[in-house]
Amino acid sequence: MMGVIMQAQTSRRPTLVLVLLTAVLLFTAIGGVYGGYHLLRDPSGGVLGMSLSYLDTTPFSDYTLPAFVLMFGYGFGSLVIIYGLWFRVPLPLVDTLEHVTHEHWSWDLTLALGVALILWLTYQVVTIPAFAPIQFVMYGVAILLIGLPLLDPVREYYHEQT
């Protein structure tokens, strides 16, 4: 009987934090799809008020590759993560990652997205001679993408069930 009781106990879904994390990921997704779409339409960046001269100190000749990263990595990637966070479905493509971290793939990818965003923004600040207030907002988003999953109730909920 004790084994049945132990199996029935699972950590509670941290709904409030999950809603906040979803809002942050939706903000990231909308920005990624919006920016990526416009940069793919106009790789010169003009439609978003960006100059190609910003890329002089980077390996990019236009905004095509950054557009793909924005649209598919941050945009659609955030939507996939949201789905995983809410439904905790298996994703065979990242199954190996779960065996290493012992957390659900959506938890892992949320942290990875936050770290990637910090690296992306830092690269921008260092290489592009333009300043945009959205960079500070996105640093805050990245900190939330890293910090919220590390809260104990969230980590317990997404810890791999053995």
More confident residue, 1 or 15: 15
Q: Where are the domains of the chain?
A: 15-158
- What is the CB neighbour count within 10 angstroms for residue 148? 19
More confident residue, 9 or 85: 85
- Model confidence at 1, pLDDT cuts 50, 70, 90, reads very low
Residue 110 tokens, joined = 């949320």
The torsion angles phi and psi of 60, rounded to 5 degrees, stand at -95, 140
pTM over cut 0.85: yes
54: CB partners within 8 A, 6+ apart: 45, 128, 129, 130
pLDDT tens column, 116-159: 999 999 998 888 877 789 999 999 999 999 999 999 999 999 99
More confident residue, 98 or 20: 20
53 in helix, strand or coil? Answer: helix
Share of the chain above pLDDT 90, in %: 72
- Model confidence at 10, pLDDT cuts 50, 70, 90, reads low
CB 32 within 8 A of CB 75: yes
pLDDT tens column, 33-75: 999 999 999 999 999 999 999 899 889 999 999 999 999 999 9
More confident residue, 47 or 11: 47
- The full 3-state SS of 56-118, as one line of letters, equals CCCCCCCCHHHHHHHHHHHHHHHHHHHHHHHHCCCCHHHHHHHHHHCECHHHHHHHHHHHHHH
Cα–Cα distance between 152 and 157 in angstroms, integer?
9
